[in-house]
Amino acid sequence: MQGIWTTERIREAEGRLFAVTPEGELMRRASFGLSVQLADFLEDHTGGVSGRRVVLLVGSGDNGGDALWAGAFLRRRGVAVTAILLKPEKAHPAGLKALKRAGGRAVSAEDGPQWIARADVVVDGIVGISASGSLRPDAARLVDLVEAPIVAVDLPSGVDPDTGAVDGPAVRATRTVTFGGLKPVHVLAPSWCGEVVLVDIGLRPELGEPQLRRLDIVDVAAAWPVPGPEDDKYSQGVVGIAAGSATYPGAAVLAAGSAVRATSGLVRYAGHAADIVRAQWPEVIATGTVADAGRVQAWVVGPGIGTGSDGRDVLRYVLGQGVPVCADADATTIIAKSPDVLDARDPDTPLVLTPHAGEYERLMGRKPGPDRVTAAREAAKKYNAVVLLKGHCTVIAAPDGRIAVNRPRGAWLATAGSGDVLSGLVGALLAAGSDPWLAAAAAADVHSLAGAIAAQNAPTSASGLVHAIPEAIRAIRSLTS
Ligand SMILES: NC(=O)C1=CN([C@@H]2O[C@H](COP(=O)(O)OP(=O)(O)OC[C@H]3O[C@@H](n4cnc5c(N)ncnc54)[C@H](OP(=O)(O)O)[C@@H]3O)[C@@H](O)[C@H]2O)[C@@H](O)CC1
Ligand SMILES: [K+]
């Protein structure tokens, strides 16, 4: 699992490392790593390094210092380097001196535009982990003129380091070179960071437990249930799907199909769409009511069940069965409207809630807001449930405080029925006995990979997603076995 640390933790760790390293050493490590990445970037984007033109946008702190030092290193490789100083009186003195000594040029913001126009690559050293708010007007004006690709130092300026939120002008980087450890911005605002490269500056031993995590492909592969030689269709976990209605059977077909494709365990369906589900997925044992469904090891409840009394009865029934439950879509709305349904639940039995922003608002009485990690964490605490907060970056919070952020793979998942497919995946893993937080995070990852496979750069559908699930699992397993 990749660890991600808040800027407060990064700063504390840096403080400890500072105390035991010679002055300027950490910045040298960071800026040398940055210069290697910049040379590599120049090679990739222009086919060479020597003779290329790099412009540094330099703010008033150490982030600008990193850029200036990296510029000095690049001079030694024959790069023409111009630093545009946003606050000349506050530019990092040692970095500026080093750049000038190496033959680099420093100009004011007023003189900046002509250099930006001729740059092969622009380096964003405007602000790093001490950032607050979006770009200030002087920086925003210059960034607006940039047509060359941008490499961000530590993080793209204007994007909030801890929440990834953007509420005004900000830098959109092609590559972000960060130091010591990943920060929340790198996983919460991937479209602003571009490719993220981590430079080791010896900070890891000081960092301790990460506050956020992102599953690696090996974690997903390890989390996915694989039948052993002794297994039969029951022992792998039977998942029950309580979804859909006679008028809207689609959610039932998608959620059941997703569970069928996710593992080789048995899938039961209970609801008004039994005939249609059976016709689409003959391997599903379909009945009309949850009470007739038979024994399952986990329930998926909600997609298309409606928010009236029938839906409420179904939800209350499955919550009372003493098995893990993934409550999705209409089930979330029912819980928000009638929280007493949760009284049916044994609090020790895992519950996974999968709200999108609107459902979150119903559950919590307020929008998730820009700090989606805190939003998910608070909902997980309030409901004593794993909360999978959907969005451009899905955040998965456990009631014990664990947070995972999903790796998005394009926006193709924004299609009708996509959520029904995700709930089927979560249910399949819950039925196999997975830890509910890991189940939700691994399901979200396979869901996004299946989306990318199904789409292949063209629009797809939720049915396409269902069919791509085995290929997504195959790809993940083949990369790790
Ligand atoms: N510590 C370490 O071990 C290492 C740190 N390293 C590097 O140091 C960086 C952190 O440096 P830092 O703390 O000096 O502050 P930094 O982020 O450059 O900000 C400077 C000033 O900018 C201002 N400002 C604020 N918001 C703004 C905005 N929206 N737009 C414009 N300006 C804004 C605000 O000053 P103000 O103008 O408000 O007085 C703020 O104080 C870190 O990201 C990494 O790159 C590496 O070398 C590795 C070793
Ligand atoms: K920056």
In the annotated binding site for (6S)-NADPHX, the residues are: 62-66, 128-134, 154, 251, 304, 356, 420
Q: In order of start, what are the domains of the chain with their CATH numbers? A: 2-213 (3.40.50.10260), 217-480 (3.40.1190.20)
Eight-state DSSP code of residue 182: B
Task: State whether the beta carbon of 153 lies less than 6 angstroms from ligand 1.
Answer: yes
Task: Give the rounded percent of residues in the chain with a pLDDT score beyond 70.
Answer: 100
Q: How far is residue 202 from each of residues 21, 242, 424, measured CA to CA in Å?
A: 10, 51, 42
For residue 171, which ligand has an atom nearest its CA?
2
For tokens 């972000």, the residue is 176
Ligand lying closest to the C-alpha of residue 12: 1
> Where does 147-203 have alpha helices with state H?
184-188, 190-193
Burial class of residue 128 (count of CB atoms within 10 Å of its CB; 0-12, 13-18, 19+): buried
Helix (H) or strand (E) holding 3: strand 2-4
Q: What string of DSSP letters covers 197-252?
A: EEEP-S-HHHH-S-SEEE--HHHHHHHS----TT--TTTT--EEEE---SS--HHH
**312-363, pLDDT tens digit by residue?**
999 999 999 999 999 999 999 999 999 999 999 999 999 999 999 999 999 9
Position 480 scores a pLDDT of 73
Which of 53-67, 162-176, 253-267, 403-417 has the weakest average pLDDT? 403-417
- 207 touches 9 (CB < 8 A): yes
Give dist(CA 230, CA 253) in Å, integer: 30
pLDDT band at 457 (very low <50, low <70, confident <90, very high): confident
- pLDDT-derived band at 180 (thresholds 50, 70, 90) equals very high
- Whether 131 is in the pocket of ligand 1, judged by its Cβ within 6 Å, is yes
- What is the pTM assigned to this prediction? 0.95
Mean pLDDT score of the chain:
96
* pLDDT tens-digit map of 25-52: 999 999 999 999 999 999 999 999 999 9
- Which phi and psi angles does 178 have, rounded to 5°? -115, 170
pLDDT for 461 beyond 90: no
Which atom of ligand 1 has the smallest separation from the CA of 131?
26
* C-beta of 156 in contact with ligand 1 (< 6 A): no
pLDDT of 14 strictly over 80: yes
Residue whose Cα lies nearest atom 32 of ligand 1: it is 127
Q: Which ligand is nearest to the CA of 179?
A: 1
Identify the helix (H) or strand (E) that includes residue 54.
Answer: strand 53-58
Q: How far is the CA of 29 from the centre of ligand 2 (A)?
A: 17
Q: Does residue 127 have its Cβ closer than 6 Å to ligand 1? A: yes
Assess whether pLDDT exceeds 80 at residue 368: yes
- Is the beta carbon of 63 within 6 A of some atom in ligand 1? yes
Q: Could you tell me the two tokens for 29?
A: 């490590």
Q: Looking at residues 390-408, what average pLDDT do you find?
A: 95
Read off the tokens for 399.
Answer: 């009631």
